[in-house]
Structure 1
Amino acid sequence: MKKRQNVLLAAGITATLALTACGGGGGNGTENGGEGPEFSTEPTGTLNAWGFENADDVGQARLDYAEEQLADVEIDLDATAFDSQKFTTSFAGGNVPDVVQMDRRFVPTYAAQGLLMPLDQCFEAHGVNPEETWYQAIMEDVTYDGAVYGVPQFFQPPAIILNMEVLEEAGVSPEEFDTSDIDTLLGAIEKIYEEDGGTPTRLGFDPQATGQAGLWILGMGGQLVDENGAPTLDDPSNVAGIEVLKQITDAQGGYAQLKSFTDTFDFFGENNQYVADQVGGQVNAQWYPNVLSPYLDDIDLQAVPFRNADGEPFAVTGGTTFVIPEGAENPDAACAWALELNQLDAWLAAGEARAATIEQDGGIFTGLFTGNTEADQAIREQYVAAQSGSELDQVIETYYEVVDYGQSYASSPAGQEITAELVNAITAALLGDKTPEEALADAQQVAQRAYDQVTAG
């Protein structure tokens, strides 16, 4: 059912585009040779913004900062989760928001359909150089056909968090958790893994096979799209990542048993998989040490980078972005607001808010990883370094090291469908329902149909 829904989404976008072209909202995005409108730096009026569902201390601090900077703009915020159907149908009704927060994987899909304004003129008007402000891999996420369509935020890279009490008990060193050396890694897994009647009770290593699908495929030398953004899921280079994952899961009872076991983890709770000694190591994004920091009296952690097939640290980008829909009534305010939210001072205000929360509630400041290179360094120097000597120093340092090795998933109009079909292929192969080649071939067919629908005309 999910595959069908994703394909229908592409068809729905195409239909919506036709309605928009027939009289939907102003055509601001095409007045300057595809570079977007000439944005003013003195915005006024009402801004209809959509984003920041359940804003935490970091989000609220940035919202407050941006509102202070835009004194002549009245901000009307729809603080609900992004919904693709709601977004596309807003064009049919001629009632699009001025600015929308969405996952970066959506951007090329909507840009290919002409539903988003290019923002090159937005950056130029405000004197912002995207290449100097954000990590290169992040900018690749929001660039389509030579134009930039988003103001990005966040890049929280993955790494492997190790349970040192479990490793020491099994006689395993952190260096053995090397994803580029599968034989050594499997040896470490064998020493740590425990089961009861075929049911896992302790994993040597949880690879987060489907949650980090792109990490494993790209890290092992795969390719998800070609230079035009068309899916390449059936590329033979993608088999290696699946084969590595199958070796890892088969060594721990098989994927079905492993998945059933990990589904029982108290991932956000006081009896999480590290406190309960249910894993030796696990792939986790940078935000997860924040979850673990209240339990440092009960656990001993280290971290190592995920390493690609060549043995180099490796990470894939992920996060959200702000876009301006074609037909937005106040693109000037939308541009200014999105940029203000991602200014250095906005992130420093967020860092101050997070530091105050930690002082009140306890825990350790592990960094924010904003996607803004200057902000990341400033927050690290001002807030993270102040806690030097904490039990999480080595873990924090590892994440700061791997952020420089980020790689984009690559921009594609069918990015969401490619991601979904990759997960389907990995699941089928790990369960043994299909060979990796068969699973990838089937996934390619569905992704290609979605790509063809989105790019038709």
Structure 2
Amino acid sequence: MTKIRRRLVSTAAIAAAVTLTACSSGGATGTGDVSFGTEVSGTLNAWGFENADDVGTSRLEYAADRFEGLEIEIDQTAFDAQKFTTRVAGGTVPDVVQMDRRFVATYASQGLIVPLDECFSSHDVDPTSAYYEAVLADVTYEDAVWGVPQFYQPPAIIVNNRVLDAAGVSPEEIDTSKPDVLLGAIEKMYQEEGGNPSVLGFDPVASGQASLWVLGAGGQLIADGEPTLDDPANEAGLELLKRITDAQGGYAKVKSFTDSFDTFGENNQFVADQVGAQVDAQWFVNVLSPYVDAVDISAVPFRGPDGEPFAVAGGQAFVIPAGAKNPDAACAWALELTSQEAWEAAGSARAATLEETPGAINAGLFTASPAADQSIREEYVGDSGDAGFDQTISTYYDAVANGVTFGASPAGQQIETELNNAVQSVLLGDKTPEDALADAQAAAMRAYEQADG
């Protein structure tokens, strides 16, 4: 018996899911009696781990060692919604699939994946204590848990101290809860040449962090599974984004400038002093660490209207499709891959990789598990010798505790897409925030009604 120890869509795809559901058990509530055994054997077919790095391969190796009698076959390609529904229709569904958490409620509502509450309980795992609350909420729909969460990449604001110092700006002025103070700091730092930006005071990464700006300003995107994009409270985040981009030449010029950044290279925006501050997910600290001698950074949290740190949870999860041939192995494997022991193996592998890179800084791993994060931090994240990097890393660790869920909805991916469309139309001046959000809501509701049957 295996006991796992824890210390711790496109519209076409939705339409395909609706068609398939006509022959299924009838939606989320129809699969609530799924049970899982703990005897693991046979063959496990998995789909995930595209371009796995040392963190991924070390966890795969750990799990493989735990299940010596299990033959594991993995399709290591990127998740594709249409491919998934096609596989379900053809009866060739894998036993376990790795996907973005935005998809989970979509497939749960259609009965295309099974609830995992019994999976957790059969292996003595309490998800409410094993995962961050916001992360667990991402995969909770109609009072059931439908996914095994993996990573949690919190956002924060990385500050370029050289640009701030040159403009006489303090990090405390990079405060999203005080728009007038923030705009004043941006105007001091912003520079242009020939009518185009040459230094951005603040890159809000509007196209990639739209939900952060809307939810962080007091908005709401989903309520009880339904989209709420036209909630008037959502307008504040869009209005602030427009003020930020208008103060720096307008969205078109800002986007053109940021697209030119050597983001992953030796002349990235912090080396080249092209930004004073930028919203970034935690993984970007790892991108900057090889250039520690060429940058001068620190970080401040993204702050909500109350001035408190704020983050939005996001990441991937493992799900088990309805019709999986080996659900017992799928459950055990997914839990083993996300156990504290697996994450500690990943932490060790990452530390070994960094030891081979002169000057590299260990920024830790940010998982869905607070216990694993703390264990890896205590073991591998210490004094790097660069106070700015250490403070930046600490800011991200503080951020994970302040996360909120994007929300779980059968139209989760479509809601995110329509939100991004609304942001772009507002920033380009094509629509007012009210009109843009109303149009986004109409499109998201169509997707919701279709997905929810």
TM-score between the two structures when normalised by the length of structure 2: 0.96
Aligned with 1:400 (options 397, 406, 409): 397
Unaligned stretches of 5+ residues in structure 2: 1-8
The corresponding residue for 1:179 is 176
Work out whether 1:271 is the aligned partner of 2:267: yes
SS state of the match for residue 293, structure 2? coil
Determine helix, strand or coil for the equivalent of 1:160. strand
Give 2:229's aligned residue: 233
CA distance in 1, matches of 2:234, 2:383: 43
1:20·1:94 contact (CA, 8 Å) conserved in 2?
no
1:345 aligns with 2:341: yes
Aligned counterparts of 2:376 and 2:166: Cα–Cα separation in 1: 36
Which residue is equivalent to 1:427? 424
Quote the residue 1:411 is aligned against. 408
Give the Å deviation of 1:13.
1.1
The question of 1:324 aligning with 2:320 is answered yes
SS in 2 for 1:10: helix
> What is the Cα deviation at residue 388 of structure 1?
6.6
Q: Distance in 2 between matches of 1:291 and 1:92?
A: 41
Task: Give 1:155's match in structure 2, choosing from 152, 167, 188.
Answer: 152
Distance in 2 separating the partners of 1:373 and 1:435: 40
In structure 1, what residue type is equivalent to 2:266?
E
> Which of 94, 101, 125 is equivalent to 1:104?
101
The one of 439, 446, 450 aligned to 2:447:
450
| Counterpart secondary structure, 2:309 | coil
Mapped contact 1:20–1:92 kept (Cα < 8 A): no
Corresponding residue SS for 1:47: strand
Q: Which residue of 2 aligns with 1:10?
A: 14
Q: State yes or no: 1:68 paired with 2:65.
A: yes
Q: Name the TM-score, length of structure 1 as normaliser.
A: 0.95
1:121: which partner in 2?
118
State the Cα deviation string for residues 191-248 of structure 1 (Å, max 9, x = none).
100011220010000001120000000000111012x211111111110000000110
CA deviation vs aligned residue, 1:353-389 (integer Å, no higher than 9, x gap): 0001101123111011111111000000000026476
The alignment yields a C-alpha RMSD, in angstroms, of: 1.5
Q: What is the alpha-carbon distance in structure 1 between the residues aligned to residue 89 and residue 259 of structure 2?
A: 40
Which residue is 2:277 aligned to?
Answer: 281
- Partners of 1:36 and 1:120 within 8 A in 2: no
Partner of 1:305: 301
Query: How many residues are treated as equivalent by the alignment?
Result: 444
Distance 1:21 1:95, change over 3 A: farther
Alignment of 1:372-383 (within 5 A): 372-383=369-380
Q: Deviations over 1:48-80 (max 9, x none)?
A: 000000100000000000001111211011111
When residues 320 and 304 of structure 1 are mapped into structure 2, their CA distance, relative to the original with a 3 A threshold, is: same
User: What is the distance in 1 between the residues matched to 2:45 and 2:165?
Assistant: 55
Q: Which residue of 1 aligns with 2:203?
A: 206
Q: What is the aligned partner in structure 1 of residue 134 from structure 2? A: 137
Q: Percent same amino acid among aligned pairs? A: 62
1:439 to 412, 420, 436: 436
Give the partner amino acid of 1:105.
R
In 2: Cα distance, 1:382 partner to 1:36 partner: 41
**Cα distance between partner residues in 1 of 2:382 and 2:321:** 40
User: Does 301-310 or 390-399 show the bigger shift?
Assistant: 390-399
Judge conservation of contact 1:210–1:423 (CA < 8 Å) in 2.
yes
Give the drift of 1:35: 3.2
Q: Which residue identity is paired with 1:43?
A: V
Q: Which runs of 5+ in 1 are unaligned?
A: none
Alignment partner, residue 189 of structure 2: 192
- Of 35, 38, 41, the residue aligned with 1:41 is 38
